[in-house]
Amino acid sequence: MIQLTHLQKLEAESIHIIREVVAECEKPVMMYSIGKDSAVMLHLAMKAFYPGKPPFPLLHVDTTWKFREMIEFRDQRARELGLDLIVHINEEGVKAGINPFDSGSRLHTDVMKTQGLKQALDKYGFDAAFGGARRDEEKSRAKERVFSLRSAEHRWDPKNQRPEPWRLFNTRKRPGESFRVFPISNWTESDVWSYIALEKIPVVPLYFAKSRPIVRRDGALIMRDDERMKLLPGERVENMMVRFRTLGCYPLTGAVESEAATLEAVIEEMRNSHSSERQGRIIDHDGSGSMEQKKQEGYF
Amino acid sequence: MDAIAVDRATGGETAPQTAVAPSIDGAQKSLLRFITCGSVDDGKSTLIGRMLHDSGVVFDDQMEALEKDSQKFGTQGDRIDFALLVDGLSAEREQGITIDVAYRYFSTPRRSFIVADTPGHEQYTRNMATGASTAELAIILIDARKGVLPQTRRHSFIVSMLGVREVVIAINKMDLVGYSQQVYDKIVADYRELARRLNFGNIVFIPISALEGDNVTKPSAAMPWYRGTSLIAHLETVDIKPSTAADGAFTFPVQWVNRPNLDFRGYAGWMTRGRIAQGDAIVALPSGRRSTVARIVTYDGDLSEAVAGQALTLTLADEIDVSRGDVIVSANYSGKPRSLIPARILWMSERPLADGSTYLLKLGTAMAQAKISVSRAVDIHTYEEGEAQRLNMNEIGIAAITLDRPIVASEYGEDRELGGFILIDRWTNETMALGLVDSSLSPKVAPDTIAQVVPAGLAGRLTTFLAADLPLRRQTRGGIFQRVLLGYAPLAVIIGGIIGALSGSLLLGLGVAVANVVACALLSLWMQDSGMPVDESRLRDEANVDGDGI
Ligand SMILES: Nc1nc2c(ncn2[C@@H]2O[C@H](COP(=O)(O)OP(=O)(O)O)[C@@H](O)[C@H]2O)c(=O)[nH]1
Ligand SMILES: [Mg+2]
């Protein structure tokens, strides 16, 4: 008797979800944010439609402040896999000069990411967007459905969510409404890394420790990825051995000091770690319940 | 895929790769999904919070936040309130209750766990059922001070109905009854009595204190009289037997037909039960066409065999027509496609179910229109059945479901995934109910109702038309229309028939058409008047699908 392991069960469940969207929705898209969760989700999509290719494009909402290595990696992955990649930038935000330094993390994220995402979904008329969010990331995500219905205005109503017994998803919606679908809802950070190792999934090298140009600011280690980051009085750039546990806009993503330069070392380090991955994400700390509020506003 | 972190083109580093597989965390671990149930304040959140904490998945920064929150919202004075680790949405934090199913994750060196934390109130029966639907084990909490309560009976019933066979009765707050063995023994005896009427396979009793940690992750020094294992030790080692069906067959609902090019036609889906091998004889249902499994295709290479739970793509030796909603089964599958399904249903919507209403039914990957005839309801406290023509939210009924076409449905007791279904309101798209196929029930089928007298497509077109053109509808009253409609439709058909018989077939057609128009007009007015939302574009779609010819 074949006994399925924990990861095999998670994999099968995710593939099932991805296929269900393709079978039932008209115009799906996969949000590709370049991080490890996206890497796993994309790999699962490759598996779901093998020997064919995933029958939907990838969408990256580019805030123009991502690490350069992320952008290189993104373009290379799309090329290697032969997939369509749509890159959307909120040009209005760019014109208005929104940036994480002067506008603050909240406004920047809202305009460049949240609004940008809505623009892209409306522009192309996607009716289902896969996202790589996991329920273990944050308390309010623990209750997120796999198929999360959004109004035509992209709002999420936590009181009006459909029950999802077994593997049965109610995929009906009215014109204008759309779904956010989270195929790796049930994965943990540890599952994601184990799977990346097991399946040899390529990830952005920023996850591995290396000497990088770091500025200490407000207690966080910020990598100065380009000249747009102006040094404040008293600040200087130091080369430090660091890596990142999550990836986002470089000015908003704190590095951790680490010697873990290989996947095994990263997994080992994570197992002994005492802080959560979201700690490095500056946008989460706007107060308790803040992620919940962002979701109601349409943030992924 | 060759190396990890391939980034050669850009000069990025490549993480050195070694034979990591055998040591990868999770690569060998098994998975256990369980649900926790108990009434408000029995200690569910505290118990889960403690399990998360003791298994080391709570990070320092979360611990810090927890300490702060404990001061602010905690119920344990200055002590850490583990419940706050798991109580998520701000609304419920303020109210101090859990209002939805929340999923939690933790693992020990032996197993990974997915916990469905469900609310205890009666008004959340539906949430508990959802959590139980995928659970392999249930932890039912009992407050040692209170013993077996009506809620305990209710939770046990739902868990049993949803097919959970492995149960742990965690008798909590033992610290508040002086860790007394008498109290424990009495509750065990009471529960055994209750459980006689349920369908559990194995029941394990564990006296615990979620707050103090007794018998949660380690044995309790305060209860030397208890010789069993701690809760975690039990969860780590309990053996979950897959549900088996007498026929030993496999079933594979087809999700999607994979046609990347002209040379490949595969059926993507997953095994809900059994074991499949290359060369096996299969039958595609409902068509009944036969073939054999040519290949079991996966991204990681073809498999020679596969088991329940795996997501696969099958190719068949013969070109037979199979599409989404069909089920590929082994030749020894004992079921057959059916359009009458006896079932238990749990009503989940605030709008009650009336006997004879129609909904969309989704089971596996199949979707059909379903008319629900409800004849009995089950009292989840006494487990007694009584007559019923209606189900309110959180009530459980026994129903006969008539489908507009035959689908493949297995017995829920043998296969949860091909025996469980949901009902969807086709106007609001709300998920109204979950249901479990059970052929041992013998519910009555209700006589035909309006929904069947009037073709849906006609209703749609007319509603659209009337919504725009008939100002009168606002003043009308629902009840009248229903009665008028029921009276008029057949009458109009008869009149049409008489005219037809007298004057030849052209007029007969006209007569029937007139009857339809009248009936539909009335139906749509009635629907709008009784507050049913009417979505025009949906109606247009439905009108097209039905391909009627007004
Ligand atoms: N003394 C004692 N109190 C407990 C125990 N477990 C939970 N509590 C307390 O009971 C109250 C309700 O607990 P909670 O976990 O929120 O219950 P839930 O409503 O089932 O999630 C809280 O004040 C807990 O601190 C226990 O084992 N012993
Ligand atoms: Mg609770």
- Whose CA is closest to B410, among A234, A208, A146, A166? A166
Query: pLDDT value at position B100?
Result: 75
Is the pLDDT score of B546 beyond 60? no
Residue A28 falls inside a structural domain? yes
Query: pLDDT value at position A274?
Result: 62
Same domain, A169 and A83: yes
Q: Which residue of A has its CA nearest to B361?
A: A170
Nearest CB to A2; choose among B14, B307, B431 = B307
Nearest CB to B258; choose among A46, A52, A205 = A52
Three-state SS at A235:
coil
Residues of chain A with pLDDT under 70: 1, 139-140, 158-160, 274-300
Contact B500, B492 (CB under 8 A): no
Query: pLDDT value at position B274?
Result: 93
Residue A197 falls inside a structural domain? no
Q: Look at the block and give the residue holding tokens 């099968």.
A: A12
Same domain, A135 and A63: yes
Three-state SS at B452:
helix
Query: Which fold is adopted by the domain B30-237?
Result: Rossmann fold (3.40.50)
Give the closest-approach CA distance of A6 to chain B in angstroms. Answer: 5
For the beta carbon of residue B95, count every other beta carbon within 10 angstroms.
11
Residue A198 falls inside a structural domain? no
Give the pLDDT band (50/70/90) at residue B490: low
Query: pLDDT value at position A277?
Result: 61
Sorted by sequence, the CB contacts under 8 Å of residue A178 that are 6+ apart come out as: A121, A126, A127, A128, A129, A149, A150, A154
A186 touches chain B (CB under 8 A): yes
Same domain, A142 and A92: yes
Same domain, A98 and A23: yes
How do residues B268-306 score in pLDDT, each as one tens digit? 999 999 999 999 999 999 999 999 999 999 999 999 999
CATH of the domain at A130: 3.40.50.620
> Is domain B251-330 classified as CATH 3.30.460.80?
no
Which ligand 1 atom is at minimum distance from the Cα of B212?
27
Tokens representing residue B184 in the block? 């424990």
- Whose CA is closest to B39, among B176, B131, B140? B140
Same fold, B251-330 and B338-437: yes
Query: pLDDT value at position A288?
Result: 40
Strands B166-172, B137-143: pairing is parallel
DSSP states of B373-425: EEEEEE-TTT--EEE-SEE-TT-EEEEEEEEEEEE----TTT-STTTEEEEE-
B-facing residues of A in 89-148 (CB < 8 A) are 135-136, 139-140, 142-143
Per-state percent for chain A, helix, strand, coil, to nearest 5: 40, 15, 45
For residue B286, give the amino acid letter.
P
Contact A60, A237 (CB under 8 A): no
How do residues B161-215 score in pLDDT, each as one tens digit? 999 999 999 999 999 999 999 999 999 999 999 999 999 999 999 999 999 999 9
Chain A positions touching B30 (Cβ under 8 A) are: 3, 5-6
Query: pLDDT value at position A275?
Result: 59
Q: CA-based Rg of chain A, rounded to a whole angstrom? A: 19
Sorted by sequence, the CB contacts under 8 Å of residue A74 that are 6+ apart come out as: A32, A34, A60, A85
A71 touches chain B (CB under 8 A): no
Contact A269, A260 (CB under 8 A): yes
Q: B8, B90, B362: best mutation site toward chain A, by most A Cβ within 10 Å?
A: B90
Q: Give the Å distances, CA to CA, from B261 to A52, A53, B256, B291, B485.
A: 8, 11, 15, 22, 52
Q: Give the Å distances, CA to CA, from B297 to A52, B273, B351.
A: 11, 18, 45
- Whose CA is closest to B455, among B536, B516, B537? B516
Q: Is the pLDDT higher at B223 or at B449?
A: B223
Same domain, A21 and A139: yes
Same domain, A154 and A84: yes
Q: Give the Å distances, CA to CA, from A141 to A144, A295, B102, B140.
A: 5, 9, 9, 25
Give the closest-approach CA distance of B57 to chain A in angstroms. Answer: 9
Q: Give the H or E element holding residue B168.
A: strand B166-172
> Is domain B338-437 classified as CATH 2.40.30.10?
yes
Where do runs of H (alpha helix) occur along B263-307? none
Is the pLDDT score of B533 beyond 50? no
**How many residues in chain B?**
550
- Whose CA is closest to B451, among B532, B549, B362? B532
How do residues B89-137 score in pLDDT, each as one tens digit? 444 554 544 467 888 888 888 899 999 988 777 778 888 999 999 999 9
Residues with Cβ within 6 A of ligand 1?
B 38, 40-46, 75-76, 81, 83, 98, 172-173, 175-176, 209-211
Contact B315, B254 (CB under 8 A): no
**Of B106-115, B233-242, B370-379, B503-512, minimum mean pLDDT range:** B503-512
Query: pLDDT value at position A144?
Result: 79
Q: What percent of chain B has pLDDT over 70?
A: 70
Same domain, A152 and A279: no
Residue A121 falls inside a structural domain? yes
Same domain, A18 and A127: yes
Contact A69, A206 (CB under 8 A): yes
Residue A200 falls inside a structural domain? no
Q: Is the pLDDT higher at B72 or at B312?
A: B312
Residue A81 falls inside a structural domain? yes
How do residues B245-271 score in pLDDT, each as one tens digit? 788 899 999 999 999 999 999 999 999
Task: Examine the predicted complex and report whether its ipTM is higher than 0.85.
Answer: yes
B417 touches chain A (CB under 8 A): yes
- Cross-strand partners of A216: A221
A-facing residues of B in 452-511 (CB < 8 A) are none
| Dist CA B286 CA B297 (whole Å) | 23
Share the mean pLDDT of chain B: 79
Protein residue with its CA nearest to atom 8 in ligand 1: B43
Tokens representing residue B355 in the block? 């006997």
- Whose CA is closest to A137, among A292, A277, A262, A297? A277
Number of domains in chain A: 2
Protein residue with its CA nearest to atom 13 in ligand 1: B43
Q: Look at the block and give the residue holding tokens 């049930």.
A: A186
For the beta carbon of residue A297, count every other beta carbon within 10 angstroms.
14
Three-state SS at A161:
coil
Q: Which residue of B has its CA nearest to A187?
A: B105
Question: Per-domain residue ranges for chain B?
Answer: 30-237, 251-330, 338-437, 450-549
- Cα-Cα-Cα-Cα torsion B138, B141, B147, B148, nearest 10 degrees, comes to -30
| Dist CA A131 CA A144 (whole Å) | 12
Three-state SS at B39:
coil
Same domain, A188 and A115: yes
**How many residues in chain A?**
300
- Whose CA is closest to A126, among A33, A37, A21? A21
Residue A51 falls inside a structural domain? yes
Query: pLDDT value at position B498?
Result: 53
Give the closest-approach CA distance of A147 to chain B in angstroms. Answer: 13
Residue A83 falls inside a structural domain? yes
Same domain, A172 and A258: no
- Cross-strand partners of B422: B362, B434
Q: Give the Å distances, CA to CA, from B147 to B173, B186, B414.
A: 11, 8, 33
Same domain, A124 and A254: no
Is the pLDDT score of B530 beyond 50? no
Query: pLDDT value at position B98?
Result: 45
B-facing residues of A in 252-281 (CB < 8 A) are 261-264, 267, 271, 273-276, 279
- Cross-strand partners of B373: B400
Q: Is the pLDDT higher at B62 or at A174?
A: A174
Tokens representing residue B164 in the block? 């959970």
Q: What percent of chain B has pLDDT over 90?
A: 55
| Dist CA B258 CA B1 (whole Å) | 22
| Dist CA B54 CA B41 (whole Å) | 21
Query: pLDDT value at position B54?
Result: 81
For residue B52, give the amino acid letter.
L
A158 touches chain B (CB under 8 A): yes
Single pTM value for the model: 0.83
Is the pLDDT score of B352 beyond 70? yes
- Print the domain residue range for A248: 205-285
